[in-house]
Amino acid sequence: MSITHVTSLSQLNGILSKSKDKLTVIDFHATWCGPCHAIAPKFESLAREYKNSNFVKCDVDAATDVASEYKVTAMCVPRSSFNSETGGTAVLI
């Protein structure tokens, strides 16, 4: 299982630019969010199952630039985003 914990927008952009042909699943979470903790085991399970995809966790309180860029105003709300510049798809949780 490989889950990357991102702490900045530049770090996330680096991951996305290096894997333009991969699906990237981003779990936006907060340490105080109960539902975020509840879905964490499923996120880890998916990361183990889909080894050819990127799984990324982002604490919205620690990486406010990432949360702002992706307009995260609530956690545990699945969304998807397609990056036409890179051809990659990000699924935002």
Our count of domains for the chain comes to 1
Choose the catalytic residue: 33, 39, 40, 62.
Answer: 33
Query: For residue range 18-38, what is the model confidence (pLDDT) as tens digits?
Result: 988 888 888 999 999 998 899
Domain extent, residue 25, equals 4-92
Question: What DSSP character marks residue 7?
Answer: -
Domain holding 86: CATH number? 3.40.30.10
Any catalytic annotation for residue 36? yes
Query: For residue range 43-90, what is the model confidence (pLDDT) as tens digits?
Result: 999 999 999 889 999 999 999 999 999 888 887 665 555 555 555 555
Short-list 71, 62, 65, 64, CA closest to 90: 71
Any catalytic annotation for residue 76? no
* pTM, two decimal places: 0.80
Choose the catalytic residue: 25, 30, 36, 60.
Answer: 36
